[in-house]
Amino acid sequence: MTTKAFNCKRMNEVKRGDRIIILYGETGTGKSTFINAVAGCDAAKVDHTLKGSANRIEVFKITGPDLKPFVLVEAPGVDTSNNDSSKLGLWLHDQKNPPVAGVIYLRRITDNRMSNAQINTLDSLSTICGIDAASHIFVLTTMWDVPATARQIEREREFKTDFCSIKAALGECKLLRMENTKKQTTREITRAARQTVQEVLDRDPCRLLVGRQMRDSKGDYRGTAVGKVEEKSKGFRGFFRGLFSK
């Protein structure tokens, strides 16, 4: 792909035939920054307060010369203390469960080893996608230095160890690296982001499991596999909060 700026338009919905990539991850992992890198311009608002776009789905359609249009969908930041993917499930249901090219899970390479909450987030993602879409999951580590530091390489090794322990649930997902630091030029960052997008778009689109289950449950997120897991988790957290507040 060229590194020239693309046209990037905020949308309310997707259309039949759109090539869709969903960006998923905790607040502050760089989803909006990734969108801007792909677009080659400031299309998405980057929130540095760590509050993020917690309550809404953001949809951006990318078009350009000699480019088949595609759509980037920024899912609300996943709060590790309250992992709730209902907004993504409801959005897929409202959009008639469109097929997606892939889901990119973003994680900072600057983070320490994965916590149990973060592992649960990846488990939820595997349940959202289902076995048939497992090969459409891409785990992208961001915020690398150029050249990579010894500590970052060690963190990648640790992450791969943690990652392998849950890979059985994620299936044939792929681990990618994106170098995007202040030491790089905008053109270099854009090229890296677009290479990632192209790798995702090379996959044949498929529908996510949560979308099909939302249809079967008539739009009730609690009737989906991931919804049931999250409801059970909320129940446990509520029990322990009540126990320790006495």
Structural domain includes residue 224: yes
Q: 167-170 — which CB contacts under 8 Å span 24+ positions?
A: 169/122, 169/123, 169/126, 170/122, 170/125, 170/126, 170/134, 170/137, 170/139
Say whether pLDDT at 223 is over 80: yes
- Rounded distance, CA 129 to CA 102, Å? 9
The residue that leads in pLDDT, 113 or 60, is: 60
Q: Mean pLDDT over residues 147-173, rounded?
A: 77
Q: What is the pLDDT of residue 241?
A: 45
Alpha helices in 42-171 (DSSP H): 86-94, 116-129, 150-170
Please give the single-letter amino acid code of residue 167.
K
Q: What is the pLDDT of residue 183?
A: 65
Q: Mean pLDDT over residues 22-40, rounded?
A: 91
Structural domain includes residue 152: yes
Signed CA dihedral, 94, 97, 100, 105: sign only: positive
Signed CA dihedral, 88, 76, 135, 6: sign only: positive
Three-state DSSP string of 15-52 = CCCCCEEEEEECCCCCHHHHHHHHHCCCCCCCCCCCCC
Q: Which of the four pLDDT bands, split at 50, 70 and 90, describes residue 236?
A: very low
Read off the tokens for 162.
């943690």
Say whether pLDDT at 116 is over 80: no
Q: Mean pLDDT over residues 126-138, rounded?
A: 90
Structural domain includes residue 1: no
Structural domain includes residue 2: no
Say whether pLDDT at 3 is over 80: no
Say whether pLDDT at 60 is over 90: yes
Structural domain includes residue 171: yes
**Please, is 77 exposed, middle or buried when counting C-beta atoms within 10 Å of its C-beta (0-12, 13-18, 19+)?**
buried
Q: What is the pLDDT of residue 113?
A: 78
Q: Which of the four pLDDT bands, split at 50, 70 and 90, describes residue 246?
A: low
The CATH number assigned to the domain holding 111 equals: 3.40.50.300
∠59-28-67 over CA atoms, to 5°? 35
Q: What is the pLDDT of residue 207?
A: 96
Q: What is the pLDDT of residue 209?
A: 95
Read off the tokens for 48.
């540095």
Q: What is the pLDDT of residue 243?
A: 45
Q: Mean pLDDT over residues 88-95, rounded?
A: 94
Structural domain includes residue 137: yes
Structural domain includes residue 145: yes
Task: Find residue 10's DSSP bridge partners.
Answer: 60
Q: Mind listing the pLDDT tens digit for each residue in 174-212? A: 888 887 666 677 888 888 899 999 999 999 999 999 999
Say whether pLDDT at 83 is over 70: no
Structural domain includes residue 14: yes
Q: Are the beta carbons of 11 and 61 closer than 8 angstroms? A: yes
Domain count, the chain: 1
Read off the tokens for 59.
């949809």
**C-alpha 214: how far from chain center:** 19
Q: What is the pLDDT of residue 224?
A: 95
Q: Which of the four pLDDT bands, split at 50, 70 and 90, describes residue 165?
A: low
Structural domain including 186 reads 7-244
Q: Mean pLDDT over residues 15-40, rounded?
A: 92
Say whether pLDDT at 63 is over 60: yes
Q: What is the pLDDT of residue 26?
A: 87
Q: Are the beta carbons of 70 and 197 closer than 8 angstroms? A: yes
